[in-house]
Amino acid sequence: MPTFALRLARFIGRLLPPLAAVATMVVVFLVLIVLTDGAGSGLGAWLTTLGVGTAAALWRGRRRTRAARLMPFLPVLVAAALVGSACVPTVPTARRYPPDLPFVATQHWSLATGSRVAVYHYPPENPGARHPVPFVYLNGGPVRGISLLDHRFLQLLAHRGYDVYAYEQAGGGRSDVLPMDQYTISRSVGDLAAFIDRLDQGRVDILGFSSGAVVLTRALADPSVAARLHRAIIAEPGPMDGPTAQITGHKGRPSARGLAPAMTGPRSTRVPRYATAFGLMRLGLLTPDTGLIGQAEGDNAYTAADLGSDTAAAYCARDAHRIPVEDTAQNFSFSPAASLRIQQTVKDSPSIAPQLRLSQTPAMLMIAECSTQVRQWATAVLADDPAIQRTQYMPGVGHHMWNGLDDDNDRAAAVITAFLQGEPAPVPNHPTRDEIPAFLRDHE
């Protein structure tokens, strides 16, 4: 036994230096990637790392026999192969758009802003209950395709007599990409105004969900855009501006994050190239327009499984083991770099509260019981927008309120319909502005 332990200690002692050499080269490569912002798909960082490793191997082997001089080069070759895999694309580098959906036509509209967006139209299916004002849906993301789960909800609204239009924001889904520096929250608001103008049917009712609710909130704070809106529904908003983004606070009731089974399917974040790029971007060490991977390549690589626990977080803890499939691999589309870029422009923006306090567009706020959004993001909108006529606290649902489970879609549609048609709310108006302190204090 002592002999075995001695041999094991010697083996580990011999193994540690090569492993340390490999680890050092990986760290050098990552530092160079950050310093160069991934220029040239990381090739410059790779060549420099290889040069540093080779020089170190030559120095270590300078006093060894000819055969032993080759040994220090083994960890260099291993490290070069490892970090080199982060420089080689494994998906197409030109944008690969999802195929058209079989149940709705994909139209492509060129907007006055220069964006070319994918548009979906669900005409009213119930002429007897037809609502005269067009209905526009702004999905979350920020730069993400509209999921099949959302399409089903839009079909439900059309069945209730609404003339429903939805578009995927620039860079998302089947919409054309933009140069990275053009992804800003201001551009998103401008695209909304241009879309309504292109629709050319007068003022519209609009539902903004999650980051789409942020676009809608900022549109309400801009009189020139707000003039195009008839009624507005702000559902589960993110932070509306920089000061709001800095707020820390509690969230809703427990979500299914950490309770639901792990998502299955391929993950780009298990590939060294995309794990490196997305990880460093998320940490803020690479810019969204990094030279390591292009926007189109990143869009092509990212999968639904890469969202990990984010999907489970959109559902209540009680639904952890029956979370619906939100989308198919063929329809799923998410642009991580463009989304980070837009979120950063929100964080960098000044307060819009003074402008929002002048809003006159009738609005409704929807809040989910199990939301993972910071509650103050929603209550800040409620406090600053005097035109919010009712708040609908939706029990039994998470961030994704229309999720196809039980009667959740019907309940969300009933709340929306009641507001748009000026009918009594099906759930209590809660919280009101006066109730905000108690709502936050009680951690509802």
Q: Which helix (H) or strand (E) holds 343?
A: helix 336-347
Region for residue 438 given its phi and psi (left: phi exceeds 0; alpha: psi -120 to 50; beta: otherwise): alpha
Question: What is the C-alpha to C-alpha distance for residues 41 and 110, in angstroms, rounded to an integer?
Answer: 32
**Exposed / middle / buried, residue 281 (Cβ in 10 Å: 0-12, 13-18, 19+):** buried
Assess whether 411 and 354 both reside in one domain.
yes
Token digits of residue 23: 């680890």
Q: How many domains does the chain have?
A: 2
Residues in Cβ contact with 188 at an 8 Å cutoff, skipping those fewer than 6 apart: 142, 169, 170, 215, 342
Assess whether 62 and 184 both reside in one domain.
no
pTM of the predicted structure, to 2 decimals: 0.92
Is the pLDDT at 72 greater than 80, yes or no? no
Is the pLDDT at 23 greater than 90, yes or no? no
Per-residue pLDDT reduced to its tens digit, 314-361: 999 999 999 999 999 999 999 999 999 999 999 999 999 999 999 999
Per-residue pLDDT reduced to its tens digit, 133-192: 999 999 999 999 999 999 999 999 999 999 999 999 999 999 999 999 999 999 999 999
Counting residues of the chain whose pLDDT is more than 90, the rounded percentage is 78
Assess whether 62 and 127 both reside in one domain.
no
Sign for the pseudo-dihedral over CA of 67, 72, 74, 77: negative
* Domain termination residue (choose one: 87, 117, 147): 87
Q: What is the CATH number of the domain that holds 356?
A: 3.40.50.1820
| CA nearest neighbour of 274 among 292, 254, 256 | 292
Q: Is the Cβ–Cβ distance between 347 and 245 less than 8 Å? A: yes
Q: Please give the residue that has the higher pLDDT: either 9 or 122.
A: 122
Does any domain span residue 371? yes
Assess whether 75 and 127 both reside in one domain.
no
Assess whether 165 and 260 both reside in one domain.
yes
Residue 56 belongs to domain spanning: 2-87
* Domain termination residue (choose one: 21, 54, 87): 87
Q: How confident is the model at residue 117 (pLDDT cuts 50, 70, 90)?
A: very high
